[in-house]
Structures are given as C-alpha cells and as structure tokens.
C-alpha cells in the first residue's frame, strides 16, 4: 500500500530518541526548550510554545487571545476539524468563509464582504484562523489589513506549512515587522509578521514529526507566557505572577488559571530537533515530486495544484481535482480505482460544517458552494519525501490508465 503521506525516520533520529530516553527528564525539560528555540530561530520569530499536538496549540492560542462565550471565530471549511473545534472548546461560536477556487485557501474577497455584513449586525469575529492548505501560504498581508480595520486577531493554522515561505508585502518587497527576512522578499511561515500566533503540527503525515506534537509561535511575550500557563494546568512558579499568601506557608507554585496538561515530552522534542536538520531537504524533495506529477499528469483532464509565484509551498499535499464536466470518471470512481490498486488516496478535506456534529449546530448543505465543489472533486495523491520514482510512476500510470 502506498499511503498519501508518511513520516521519514533516519537512524540518527532513532539514536537521538534513544539518548533522550537515557536523560534526566523524560517529560518537558531542557530538550523541549531547545526544540522551541530551534523552530523559533528557523522561523525568525521570538518564541515557540511546544505542546502535545497542533490541536492543543490552537486551543491555548484561542485561550491566550481571550476567546470565550459570545465571541466568534471564523475559519475556512476546507481544513481539519481542529481549526474550528478550538473555538468550541472555549465556548465560542464558529463561522466559515468560503475558499478561493484557485488556491483552495480562505477567499480574502469573501472574507472582506462577510466582515462588512458582520459589522452592521455587531457580530464581528474576535479571531480569524487562515489555514495554509497543503502548505501554500494564504495572502497574509491582505488578511492582516482586514484584521486592523475590523479589529480581529489572527491565528495562522500552519499545520501543513513549516518550511513554506510567503511574501510579506503585496509588491514582493519584504518589510518584516518582526523577525528576520530570508531575502528575495520571502519570509518563513511561522514568523508571525502578519499574525498574532502561528501553529505547527508534528503529526507523522506532516512535514516534520515528533510522533504527536505541535507548537505555537508568537512575537508577543505576554501571549507566550499565557500559553505556557495554559499548557500546564494554569500553574505558575514565577513569584511575580503569584497572589499574596501568608509568609509562614509554603507557596512554591500557584494555580492562577484553568489550564490543561498539554505538555510535550523531551523524547518527542529530541525527535523534533533531529528532524529539523532535514526540514529544507524534505521540502525540496516534495517540490521534486510535485514537478514529476505536474509533468506526468499534464495532458490529463485533471486540475493540478496552482502555485502562486509570491510564495513557496511546503507541499504537504498534492491535490488533484476531477471535475464532473471535464472527466469521463467521477471523483468517487477514481478514488475507488486507486484504492483497489493499493494507492491510499485521501480527501483533504470534507467541509467542516458538513460534519454531523456541525450540522447539529445549525449549518446546512449549500452554505459554502466553492468548498462543496472542492469536496466533490479533490483527491490528495501520495506525497512524502520517501515516495520513490517507481512508486510515483505507478501512481501516474494508473491515473493515465483511468483517463485514456
Ligand atoms: C493536522 C492538522 C491539525 C491538527 O494537528 P494535530 O497535531 O494532529 O493535532 C490542525 N489543523 C490542520 C490544518 C491539520 O492539518
């Protein structure tokens, strides 16, 4: 079976994890801090807060930004459910903005229109969560401009996008507010030049892995400190945060918020540090695979991924579209044929609001037409650094066979 995505584990990854097992700390210790520094310096951002998943990172990001009952969080329907569940965890409301037909990311024009309407009825979002689908960055400078106009906070769900880069300015000239530039006007996703917080996932199918894990990046030390408290029970041992208590009692820590146990372990962080060494290599390899797919599929009646020249994707996914009016076979049929040939294609994603849980919240079919068209035509074909030429050729040949 060829999967759609897979981790890449080397002998040195394994050795590093074994070393971590022999160290003093197994749970969150100095290795977690090193991993945070490593990712933060790669991104050119001030702080990283490592947690046990991107889902947890999204949750503490919302909490740190003060999301609560009565507030709204907006995101795209074409994402993993975690991008919107984080609002529900906080007792807040969720709404969705349809996607752009070319990038499949949140459509900035529709976002602008919806904000205008929401302002009239006093239901502006507190937080907007753009998702860099498949690793292609959203137009963050445009979203940030809207954020300033309508006063919302931004959490980038960059679960697919560590190693991706975006243009900081619409004209291609980078003027980072914070963090370092990588030249040519490109900045690493995660540097938070145009957002409050960015979140990465280290699930095994993502660009680098820690087994399970995630990280929230920010340039705001207050947000970072808050997220660190939420990650570990809302407990602090910093005396400047503590409430006054009688001198004769021992108060070496205090719980000051309702937090969680979302900590990453040093074992996971050790794997992450080792994987970071090959991040750029992984992304380059993904680009190579994408180029071979582009070449091998170019004369078929499929839509291959559109790429903006203003950004550099991390190519987490390679999404093809099988559109009803162009193809002799349906998406469902192509899915079945590939599965039967031991190629484990997948669909990223079913529009979140069409999930039964979200339907119960009142969302109806037809709400975001472009996302529903995408749902009925998109498939993610195998894309991961270890996909070899033979395997890739067999995927291409099966697709060619289907459409010839
Ligand atoms: C994978 C993913 C998540 C959740 O990541 P975990 O680390 O598995 O919690 C959130 N959002 C998107 C877009 C993802 O792809």
Task: Indicate which atom in ligand 1 lies nearest the CA of residue 131.
Answer: 13
Alpha helix (H) residue ranges in 234-278: 266-276
Decide whether any atom of ligand 1 lies within 6 Å of the 157 Cβ: yes
Beta strands in 228-306 (DSSP E): 235-236, 254-255
Among 54, 61, 206, residue to substitute to test ligand 1 (most atoms within 8 Å of Cβ) = 54
Strand bridging mode 165-167 / 93-96: unpaired
Beta strands in 118-227 (DSSP E): 127-129, 153-157, 165-167, 186-188, 197-201, 214-218
Q: How many CA atoms lie within 13 A of 156 on its CB side?
A: 33
CA of 82 to the centre of ligand 1 (A): 6
Q: What is the pLDDT of residues 25-79, one digit of tens each?
A: 899 999 999 999 999 999 999 999 999 999 999 999 999 999 999 999 999 999 9
pLDDT of amino acid 326: 83
CA of 52 to the centre of ligand 1 (A): 11
CA of 88 to the centre of ligand 1 (A): 16
pLDDT of amino acid 168: 61
Residues listed for the chain: 404
Here the tokens at position 219 are 């340039």
Decide whether any atom of ligand 1 lies within 6 Å of the 80 Cβ: yes
pLDDT of amino acid 181: 45
Alpha helix (H) residue ranges in 44-107: 54-64, 82-89
Residues of the chain with pLDDT under 50: 171-182
Q: What is the DSSP letter of 396?
A: H
pLDDT of amino acid 404: 78
Task: Indicate which atom in ligand 1 lies nearest the CA of residue 214.
Answer: 7
Question: Whole-model pTM above 0.85?
Answer: yes
Q: How many CA atoms lie within 13 A of 225 on its CB side?
A: 9
Among 80, 84, 161, residue to substitute to test ligand 1 (most atoms within 8 Å of Cβ) = 80
Decide whether any atom of ligand 1 lies within 6 Å of the 160 Cβ: yes
CB atoms under 10 Å from CB of 177, counted, come to 11
């Amino acid at each position: 079976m060829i999967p759609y995505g897979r981790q890449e584990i080397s002998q040195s990854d394994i050795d590093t994890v074994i070393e971590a097992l022999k160290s003093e700390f197994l749970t969150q210790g100095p290795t977690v801090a090193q991993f945070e520094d490593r990712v933060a310096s790669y991104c050119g951002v001030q702080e990283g807060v490592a947690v046990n998943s991107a889902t947890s990172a999204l949750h503490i990001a919302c909490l740190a930004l003060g999301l609560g009952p009565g507030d709204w969080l907006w995101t795209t329907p074409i994402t993993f459910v975690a991008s919107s569940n984080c609002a529900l965890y906080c007792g807040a409301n969720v709404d969705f903005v349809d996607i752009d037909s070319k990038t499949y990311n949140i459509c900035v024009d529709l976002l602008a229109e919806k904000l205008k309407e929401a302002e009239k009825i006093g239901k502006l979002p507190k937080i907007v969560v753009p998702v860099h689908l498949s690793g292609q960055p959203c137009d963050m400078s445009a979203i940030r401009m809207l954020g300033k106009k309508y006063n919302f906070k931004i959490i980038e769900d960059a679960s697919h996008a560590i190693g991706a880069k975006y243009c900081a300015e619409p004209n291609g000239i980078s003027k980072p507010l914070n963090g370092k530039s990588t030249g040519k006007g490109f900045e690493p996703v995660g540097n938070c030049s145009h957002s409050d917080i960015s979140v990465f996932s280290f699930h095994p199918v993502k660009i680098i892995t820690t087994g399970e894990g995630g990280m929230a990046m920010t340039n705001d030390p207050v947000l970072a400190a808050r997220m660190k408290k939420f990650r570990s029970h809302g407990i602090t041992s910093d005396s400047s945060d503590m409430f006054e208590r009688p001198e004769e009692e021992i108060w070496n820590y205090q719980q000051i918020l309702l937090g969680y146990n979302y900590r990453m372990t040093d074992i996971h962080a050790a794997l992450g540090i080792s994987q970071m060494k090959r991040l750029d290599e992984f992304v380059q390899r993904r680009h190579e695979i994408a180029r071979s797919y582009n070449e091998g599929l170019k004369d078929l009646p499929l839509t291959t991924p559109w790429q903006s020249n203003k950004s550099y994707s991390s190519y987490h996914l390679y999404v093809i579209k099988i559109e009803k009016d162009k193809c002799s076979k349906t998406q469902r049929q192509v899915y079945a044929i590939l599965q039967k040939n031991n190629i484990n294609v997948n669909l990223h994603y079913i529009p979140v609001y069409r999930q039964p849980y979200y339907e119960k919240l009142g969302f109806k079919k037809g709400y975001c037409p472009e996302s529903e068209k995408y749902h009925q035509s998109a498939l993610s074909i195998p894309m991961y650094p270890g996909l070899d030429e033979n395997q890739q050729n067999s995927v291409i040949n099966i697709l060619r066979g289907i459409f010839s």
